[in-house]
Every structure is written in structure tokens, then in C-alpha cells.
Chain A
Amino acid sequence: MKNVTTKMAILFAVVALIAAACSSSDDSGSDDGGFRVAVVAPSASNDLAFTQSIVDALNKLESDGVVSEVAVTDGTFVVDDAAVAIRDYASDGYDLVIAHGSQYGGPLQEIAPDFPETSFAWGTSADTFGLDNVYSYEAASDEGGRVMGIMAAALSQTNTVGIVGPIEVGDAKLYVDGFKAGVLVQNPSADVPVNYIDSFSDVALASEAASSLIGAGADVLSGTAQMVVGAVGVAKTDGVLWFGTQANQTSLAPEIVVASQVYHWEGILEEMVTNVKDGKLGGELYVINFANDGLVIEYNDGFDLPDDVRQLGDDAVARFKSEG
């Protein structure tokens, strides 16, 4: 009997707690004239890759005072969950809601028309569905891939440069194709084995893929997406050079990371914010590239890169800049 009484007591206590919780909620909308941005993204906000690039950019805008509040929902790999989050942010009155994942396009297309006063941004993509409250943005990651591919070919002694990819889609495919093209521009006879491991998450498989590429003779590697941290580790152990992308990966292996292509979304995001403040809610496509400083090759100062190779890289970047 005592047992039961205790249980009942707990039940009432918890119910009381919940009731108290509900009544104490204020939820004051807080539309005090500031500019509020929300982002929904598929992986963790510190993945040293795709998601981190946008979160870092937004945090910078917040500390620069361009926007007043940044809300992040990360790890939203279920598209329908992302849809719920996007809808909720929109109805919470956020001024700009960013759907940071190509796979979110389908639901965004259905949600955006329901909130004509809210501005949405969708990336990476080149499509705004003809809606005037949707911006789209993408990264010309093939540009950086090409630049680093050229340098990789110049650094390779074995004429073999390997690439580890996740699933052959979107931004990853763009980068890998660009990198491969760059290698072949510099050295048409080079061998460029590419290993897509068919997973964005399997770190162990990415590391074995790197081993396999090294086994095939590669002495310079690159790779894209969040699971490459495993491949960088193998490159480090085997003393093989590495080119990174999406974020600066020097910290992963200071000895062997030559350079990283880093995404800087701040510029185009700031333009978007300015537009939204001026009442233009969308309808435009933004691309970050070398010409608008959205893409930057960040070199590892700790790595002793020969000057002629560095020159090759700088020349390639300059070409992209002059072409616009």
C-alpha cells in the first residue's frame, strides 16, 4: 500500500509540475524591431563542414550587429522534421528562415507560399521556384576544387591523387569533379581514383577508403563532407598530403593539410538581410565564389608549401576572380 501511495504522490507532483510549467510560459513573441534569423540544417553545427559554415557565418553577422538574433535547429536529417521546424520559425515571426540543405527544397516549395511576409533562403541550390519570397544560394565549390586539384597534381610525386567522397550528389559531386578536373589540367597523365563510400556518416569506412587510395599509389588526398575526418587521420598517419573543403581543416592534421577551401556565406547573407530590410523578400540566386570572396583558399601556415606551387594556386584563383 505504501508503494502505491508513493507512486500516486509522484504522479500528482509531476502533474503539478507540468501545470506550473504551462502557466509560467510567457512566449512574448519579442518582435522588438530587431532582425531575427533562423537556420535549419542537416548535421551538427560544429561538423567542420557544411552546417558549420552557415552557423559560423550567422554568428559573425550577429556579433557584427547585422542581425539581432540567430536560432539554430541542427541535426535535422529527417526532411519532414525540417519542414516542421521551417514552418514553426516562420509562424514565430522570424524575418529570414534559412533551409540549409538541398533536400529541403520540396517542403520549402510548399511552405513558403503560406508565409508571404517571411523571407526564406534555400541552399545549396540554384532554384527559387519562381517565388518572390525565396532566395537561393550555392557555393561554386568546383572552383576551389579546381584550384586545389592543380596544386595537388603539382605536389604529387607518384602522379596519383585520390579523392574520398560521400554520396555522389550536390555540393560533394561539384567539388570532386572540380578537383579531378584541376588535377588533370595540371597533369593530364595523372591517375585520379575517386572513392565514394556511399555514406555521409561512416568515419571508419572513409578512413579505410583513404587507406585503399594510398594503397593505389596516391600521395595526395582530398575529400568532402563530414565523414572525411577519418580519412584525414589516415593521411596523417601515412604522411600523405591533404586538401580540405567546406571549412578550414588544418586543425585536424597541421602536419599534412596543405590548404582548405573555406565557405564564407557572410557576404551574401548580409546582402540578403539588407534586401529583406528594404522589403525585397526573395527571388534571387546568390553564388559564393572567388570573385565575391565567398570562397577563400586558406593555406596552412605550418605547411612548407613550395613557392611555385603556391603561385599555381594563386594564379588559378586570380583567373577565377578576373572572370567574375
Chain B
Amino acid sequence: MSEVFTVAVLVAVVASAIRLAVPLLLASLGETFGQRSGVLNLGVDGIMLLGAFTGYYAVLKTGNVWVGLLAGLVIGLFLGLASAVIAVTLKAEQGISGIGIYLFGLGMSDLLFQKLVGTPIPIDTFPQVDVPILSSIPYIGEMFFQHSMVIYLAFAAVPLAMFVINRTTFGMNIRAVGEYPEAADTLGVSVAGVRYATQLIGGSLAGGAGAVLAISLGIFQQNLTNGAGFIAIALVYFGAWRPMGVMAGALLFGFINALVLELKTLEIIPRDLSNLAAMAPAIITILVLAFAAGRFKAPAALTKPFTRGK
């Protein structure tokens, strides 16, 4: 095959990368809020799975994809609250409690699916929305402007997150609580309150990310996310706790996955080596980090519960 990098292939890969990136992006953005305030939630994947099931089930029952998305966001909100109780109030070790949340979500979503649905029934998916004018630009339109509404919304959330974190009082409190909780507390900022808020944001975005995944695929299945939540956490580190960086990471991850897939379809990657190719996203993430991460520092209070007077 000689026509490896035809424009059409590139266009298809970019469009596919964007689709693959969106659930990661939403979940990572949510996790960014949490980590900037000093809370690591390793249970993102579990929340995504329950969000995915809830979103799927809501669409199945109502036929309305937006109700499904809302349902995912709401269940995520509740799980975010639970995460906050565990991590903030009970001051549990965050690296481990998250694994519990993950396992709970993994098992519970599958259990609910088997009991309430059983055999997979397809649901409606988000309709494609072509952006007027822009979508008719050759190539560019197909790559960027022929997606479903949630994809545009997800990317619109990036500048919004930047604005909230960098320009609002709430954002300032988040950063303060994540870096110097003692100082923030002295200044009258409720450390627990801010952390509860970021966990609620993070939980609902993770739940929403799961719902987006399920409703985009039009189906639910056991372990639908296949570990996407863990990758989303990795992307927060990758993106150096900044929404733009997180977005770049999600897109890069999506792009490499889409590219490997396309190269397999075109039979450029020999089938015997396809497993080695599938390692690429993980290895590239590590390498990029090894060269870049030293320049950025994690929020100083990350994973540290706060106790007044300590």
C-alpha cells in the first residue's frame, strides 16, 4: 500500500482522534479541578462506568439523549459527593480509596446492567451537527466541524475551565487550597468546602464523560470504559494540571490510538506486531512526561488531607 498518508486518511484519523479524545477530556478536566484543590480521585473510571450505565439506561427508557447525559452528570455528582466524604471528611488515603470506588463502579454498573437490561439493546446516539459554513470547508470541515453537539460542548468546556480556575475567586480558592491549605484556612477559606465543590465538579464531569461514551456508542457493556478513567488521571499529570495541557494530552492520546487503528486497517502494521503498536500511546505519554514534567510541579497539597491546626 503506497497511499499511506493520503489526505483522506489523515482527515479520518483526526476526526476519529477527536471522538476518542472527548470522554478522556471531560473526565480529565473534572479530575484537574480535584487535583488543583489537592484531592486525587483514583476512582474516575468507576464513576465513568456508573455514569455510562445510568446515561445508557436513561436514554433507553426516555429515548432522549440529553436526559441521558443529564442522568450521567447527576449520578456522577452523587459519586463525587461520596468521594468527597471518603477523601475529605474521613481523610482516607486517596491513592487507595479510589481503587475501591473503581471496583465498586466496575461491579455495580455491570450488575445493574445485567439486572435491569440484560441483553444489550442499542439506544439513540447524539445526532451529528454540522457547523454552518465551517463544516463545508474541504478537509477541515470534516475533521473538526462534523461532530455531535457534545463534542463541541466538551471542547468549549476547556476555556470555561481555564476561566474558572484562573480568573474567578472560586478558582483562586481552589488553587490556594491545593497549594497552601493552612494559609487558605487562615484567610477564612473553607478548605473542606472547596474540596467538596471540586469533587462534585470532578464527579459529575466523570459521570458525564461516561454517559457521553455510552450514548456516542449507542450501547452499554460490562467495563465499557476499558480503563479510560485511569488514562484520564494520567492526562492530568501529562497536562501539568492545566486545562489546555489536558486537552492536548487527550487529543494526542486519541490521535495515536486512531493512527494505530488506521495503520492496521491499511495493513501497514504487520498483525504480529500490532500489540507492540498498541503500547505506543502509553510509552509516548511516559516519554513526553520524562522530558517535560520536571518543569511543572504538582499542587503541593495533592493527596494530603487537611486538618486544622496541624
Contact = CB atoms under 8 A, between A and B. Distances in A.
A215 B224 contact: no
A203 B217 contact: yes
B310 interface: no
Contacts of B225: 204
A1 to B, nearest CB: 22
B261 A203 contact: no
A126 interface: no
Nearest to B110: A44
Contacts, number: 109
Contacts of B95: none
Given A229-B221, A230-B219, A196 B226 contact: no
Interface residues of B, number: 38
- Max count, chain B CB within 10 A of own CB: residue among A168, A201, A227: A201
A172 to B, nearest CB: 13
A203 B265 CA distance: 17
Given A208-B258, A209-B261, A215-B8, A201 B226 contact: yes
- Max count, chain B CB within 10 A of own CB: residue among A47, A209, A215: A215
B271 A168 contact: yes
Given A213-B265, A215-B12, A230 B119 contact: no
B108 interface: no
Nearest to B17: A208
A212 B223 contact: no
A236 B218 contact: yes
Nearest to A214: B12
Nearest to B228: A204
A216 interface: yes
B97 interface: no
Interface in A82-135: none
A212 B118 CA distance: 29
B9 A215 contact: yes
Interface in A144-199: 162, 168, 193, 195-199
A24 interface: no
Interface in A15-66: 43-44, 46-48, 52
Contacts of B261: 195, 197, 205, 208-209, 212
B120 interface: yes
Which 9 residue pairs spanning A and B have beta carbons closest together? A233-B218, A215-B12, A202-B226, A212-B265, A229-B219, A230-B217, A46-B118, A46-B119, A195-B265
Interface of B: 8-9, 12, 16, 19-20, 23, 110, 114, 118-122, 125, 213, 217-219, 221-226, 228, 257-258, 261-262, 264-267, 271, 274-275, 278
